Structure 1
Amino acid sequence: MNAILGLVVTIGMVFGGYLLAGGHMEIIMHALPFEGMMIGGAAIGAFLASNDFNTIKHTGGDLMAAITGPKWKKTDYQDLLCLMTELLNVLKQNPVDIEAHIEEPQSSDIFQKYPKILKDHDAIEMICDTIRSMLMNFDNVHQVEELLEKHLESLLEEKQHGSHALQNMADALPALGIVAAVLGVIKTMASIDKPPEILGGMIGGALVGTFLGVFLAYGVVGPFASRIRSIRAEEHFFYSMIGEVLVSNLHKNPVNICVEVARRHAPARVRPSFNEIEQAVRGLKQAA
């Protein structure tokens, strides 16, 4: 909701200040549909031309995320640590038993306890592939860390495609605003024989294009791109925690130490406390 609130404040302050300074909205409202069509249409067309279908689809989801906030909440981080606790306990007790869970996670009674995580392809793929590598005696800690690091880097880069595409659009909007303004000036020059009051209105309408391009770039699209970038960066900690648990396990640490190392890696805003994790794990043991 912060994104919506910020947008409302921006629009209110800009146009409120304009009106308080004695400005009139008639010229802006008259020119806005045409200037908006030229600038917005050109920006959308350039966006479609410069991005593939997956990026376009991800950008739609990114815009929703900018309004709703990060996907992973505090309870999800707690669920992830509980999930990793259960998997590591099975792995330590009998490595053969873990194969059924990682080969068919959709049918695993452990994964099914955490439906939100189970629906996330990236999290499940990272967990299952890394444990599968460990079962193949791929237990060189530094190699696993390097693999996970590259996996996480590529995952973050993919998640940031939407924000990069929007930032490119924001960078182009001021120039597109100038294009619309120049077209307005051309139109004005074709009517140079008109009275000054009419020419003044036409020049004012042309300048709306410059205003709209700059306003959309720095007041709307740019902030949304920045918001999306920060959201995806925060969500990335969720996947990084998976790597922290598994690498710590390769260092032969007890399960509770592996989980604690990962817990401290979570963002402070959504980090479950030590006692919350301990109580959740105790609840798992009692249910078993």
Structure 2
Amino acid sequence: MFQIIGVVVVFGMVFGGFMLAGGHFDVIIKAAPFEMMMIGGAAVGALLIGNSFKTVMGVLGGFGKILAGPKWKPKDYTDLLSVLFVLTKTMKTKGVVAIEAHIENPKESRIFQEYPKILKDHFAIDLICDTLRMMTMNLEDPHQVEDAIEKQIEKHHHEAHAPAHALQNMADALPALGIVAAVLGIIKTMGAINQPPEYLGKLIGSALVGTFLGVFLAYGLIGPFATRMGEVIDEEGKFYQIIKDVLVAHLHGNAAQISVEIGRGSIPSPAQPSFAELEEALNNVPEAG
């Protein structure tokens, strides 16, 4: 919502100020379609040249993230802590054998089925199940497990950031592409040097529209979009850090309640449940079957 308001403010202040200063839109309106074809087309082409198909599709899908915000909501963080609570408590009270069926086939697990949104996130499920599977194979050194999880999260985070980096590269290129369009406009103007000053003025104005659009799109729209996309990806990445914190705390010998409380401390403040809210949620968690 704030992003839409921001776009309205950007357009309103820039073009409103231009109009109040006595500017006329006829030159801009006439030149904009052709300048946008050159600048926008070149920017999209450069995006396709410099990135994989997956990254390009991620850029397109990333605009949904920009508008909707992080996919993990406060309830999802509580649900994650509930899942980890059941798993770590079961390991402590019943041993690793009791959770083997759950981590080998999470889609059929009654624990994971209680939380379908988490179950749909393949990386979260793989991170939980693979780490617990390592524990069942007697890898119980907290530092080794923490290092292994951190490397997986770092790789995932790097890959998740690729669309935001691609969009930022596009924003960085737009001012230069605007200059390219402007230079072409000047070349056109020089080809009509024998025309009256009034006609040449319109041609020069049209050429400068290219420079304006390149800078305007880069710093008024695309750059801020890339920044916001990166922020959303960073916040979504916190979800996986909580998995690491809880499982490592469990390996340090903490009770399940303490382990998830340590994880609760890592939740972003706007989504963080209170101690009482988490305790109530844990009291309603079904036991592992």
Question: What amino acid does structure 2 have at the position aligned with 1:283?
Answer: N
- For structure 2, the 5+ residue unaligned runs are none
Distance of 2:287 and 2:84 partners within structure 1: 17
Q: Provide the residue aligned with 1:25 in structure 2.
A: 25
Partner Cα separation in structure 1 for residue 246 and residue 190 of structure 2: 68
The answer to whether structure 1 residue 219 and structure 2 residue 220 are counterparts is: yes
Letter in 1 for 2:278: I
- Corresponding residue number in structure 1 for 2:244: 243
User: Which residue of the partner structure matches residue 127 of structure 2?
Assistant: 126
Q: Is the 8 A contact 2:110 2:288 kept in 1?
A: no
Shift of 1:60: 1.6
Sequence identity (%)? 56
Q: How does 1:102-251 map to 2 (within 5 A)?
A: 102-251=103-252
Aligned structure 1 segments of 4 or more residues deviating by more than 3 angstroms: 285-288
1:139 aligned counterpart, secondary structure:
coil
Question: Over residues 195-242 of structure 1, what are the superposed CA-to-partner deviations in whole Å (9 max), with x where a residue is unaligned?
Answer: 111111110000000000000100011000000111111111100000
Match of 2:184, as an amino acid? L
Q: TM-score, normalised by structure 2?
A: 0.97
* Amino acid in structure 2 at the alignment position of 1:99: E
Find the aligned partners of 1:238 and 1:285 in 2 and give their Cα distance: 22
**Residues 106-140 of structure 1 deviation map (CA, whole Å, 9 limit, x = unaligned):** 11111000000000011001000000000000111
Match of 2:76 in 1: 76
Whether the 8 Å contact between 2:242 and 2:266 is mirrored in structure 1 is yes
Question: What amino acid is the match of 2:116?
Answer: P
Match of 1:66 in 2: 66
Opposite residue 128 of structure 1, the aligned amino acid is C
Give the equivalent residue in structure 2 for 1:53. Answer: 53
* 2:16 aligned residue: 16
Structure 2 contact 111–288 (Cα < 8 Å) conserved: no
Alignment length, in residue pairs? 288
| Aligned twin of 1:270 | 271
Amino acid in structure 1 at the alignment position of 2:246: V
User: 1:101 is aligned with what amino acid?
Assistant: H
Residue pair 2:242, 2:263 contacting (<8 A) in 1 also: yes
User: How far apart, in 2, do the equivalents of 1:206 and 1:174 lie?
Assistant: 14
Question: Aligned equivalents of 1:63 and 1:80: distance in 2?
Answer: 26
CA distance in 1, matches of 2:288, 2:168: 49
Distance 2:187 2:114 in 1: 65
Partner of 1:284, secondary structure, is coil
SS of 2:284's partner is: helix
2:88 aligned residue? 88
Identify unmatched segments of 5+ residues in structure 1.
Answer: none
Distance 2:58 2:91 in 1: 35
Q: CA RMSD in A?
A: 1.2
